[in-house]
Amino acid sequence: MDLKKEIVAITSIFIVGVIVVSLTFTNNLLTLSMLIISTIIVLKIWHKKDDFYFFLAGSIMGSLGEIISIYFGAWGYTNPTFLEIPIWLPIAWGSTTLLIRRFSLVLIKIRNKE
């Protein structure tokens, strides 16, 4: 894929995820379902060998950081379901980790072309 198209695709997927969460966060099961479906679609189209490990690491570490921060009073969610976080948050963290990884790889490719 052309690097500019890849940047547009990554940015578009990020924006769609933000919109989904922003519009559906009051219904945790709907948000969870939509994030799972979008993550599966993205992984089917755009899969690298180690994506599962990045997704898992992001899901665990991001959620754990949120849980600890909430415990100490840094912030809170309006609709928590488990350990004071929404049930969809680990999926959001995992997906965001994959997008950050992909975006970083594209930037490295651009830098190497110069």
Query: ∠ at Cα 23 (71, 4), nearest 5°?
Result: 100
In this prediction, residue 1 carries a pLDDT of: 66
Calculate what percentage of the chain has a pLDDT beyond 70.
Answer: 98
Radius of gyration (Cα) for the chain, nearest Å? 15
Task: Give how many domains the chain has, as a whole number.
Answer: 1
| Structural domain boundaries, residue 44 | 3-113
Other CB atoms closer than 10 Å to residue 111's CB: what's the count? 8
Distance CA 7, CA 11 (A): 6
State pTM to two decimals: 0.89
Intervals of the chain under pLDDT 50: none
What is the residue whose two structure tokens read 């994506």? Answer: 51
Distance CA 88, CA 33 (A): 8
In this prediction, residue 44 carries a pLDDT of: 84
